Amino acid sequence: MLSLDLAPVARSVAVGLGLRRLYALGLRGLWCGRRMAEPSQFTALIHPDDQPFFSRLSGAGSLRKELESLLDVAPMQAASGDYRKLIVDGNAARKGTTSMRLWTWKRLKVRYLLDPRYAEFRAFTCALRSTNDPAERGRLALLLMARTDRLFREVITERVSPTLRHPGTPIDEDGLHAAVESIAERTGAGWTPGVVDGLTSHILSSAKDFGLLEGKRIKRTAEVKPGSVSAAYAIRLSRLEGLSDRRTLESRWFRLMGLGLGDVIDLMHRTARQGALRFRFQADLAEIVLPESQEAQA
């Protein structure tokens, strides 16, 4: 991950850069519509196409329940150290021993950042607090973990997402296992068969935790209907990646949820009718306008 010490030059940078570029750098000082204290250091994630592949899912899955238990008790503007204290000292993730609490902290952090210096995490916490819908919350966690874990993102996009248009489709687990093996071979990762098996198992269980799959012995695609909250977060991830509004409609974040261009346009129109954003699409040109308090997170 690349750290950018930007506070000393933030004001001069703001003069010379356009608003979209400022969003990409994560310099906006609002958090869920509130003024946030200026951190001494902003941190930017590596571009999705440049991220390395990690085997971090070999030993555990999504930990979604632990994540939501933590965020449900964390204060609005908690810092990274506060999240650690809540898990290790406050047992917010509900683990029986100190060693398990430390284990949980380390794994939640690499999956979901737990650091407001990342614009992706600030937008995620705001979105999560805005909805009690378990399905939408699952899609938000899906998008953030897909942003931090390239292996999970690419395997799901290749082997699961294309089948989401047809709920009830059995997942080819051997094909997913082969996709993990192919990435290991292509990148020279040197993962053992046991690691590949663990990755395959936990990628599948995470997809189920996030609401993409259902079933115990045989995993099948679930019915996935992104709402306005997950749609807005996908837009923010696209903007942080530097995509135009038109390219956002075909971004990897919407494809991850099984949506093609036509599906995304329909979703944008539905979300606009709900008043969650403004959307125009004409002559292959797109304009997406989020509410001001949400734009500040993008």
pLDDT in tens, 45-74: 999 999 999 999 999 999 999 999 999 999
CA 234 to chain centroid, in Å, comes to 8
Residue 42's pLDDT is 77
Question: pTM value?
Answer: 0.87
DSSP 232-296: HHHHHHHHHTT--HHHHTT-HHHHHTT--HHHHHHHHHHHHHTTS-EEEEETTEEEEE--HHHHT
CB 235: neighbour CB atoms within 10 A?
28
- Domain positions in the chain are 2-44, 56-129, 149-221, 228-295
| Tens-place pLDDT, residues 234-259 | 999 999 999 999 999 999 999 999 99
Q: How far apart are CA 244 and CA 80, in angstroms?
A: 31
Q: Report strand pairing: 2-4 vs 42-44.
A: antiparallel
More confident residue, 128 or 15: 128
Phi first, then psi, for residue 278 (nearest 5°) are -115, 140
Q: What are the Cα distances from residue 296, in Å, to 113, 181, 210? A: 19, 40, 26
**Bridge partners of 34?**
31
| Tens-place pLDDT, residues 4-49 | 333 333 323 332 333 333 334 333 444 565 555 445 467 899 999 9
Query: Looking at this protein, which amino acid is placed at residue 16?
Result: G
What proportion of the chain, given as a percentage, has pLDDT over 70? 84
| Tens-place pLDDT, residues 133-167 | 999 999 999 999 999 999 999 999 999 999 999 99
CATH architecture of 228-295: Orthogonal Bundle (1.10)
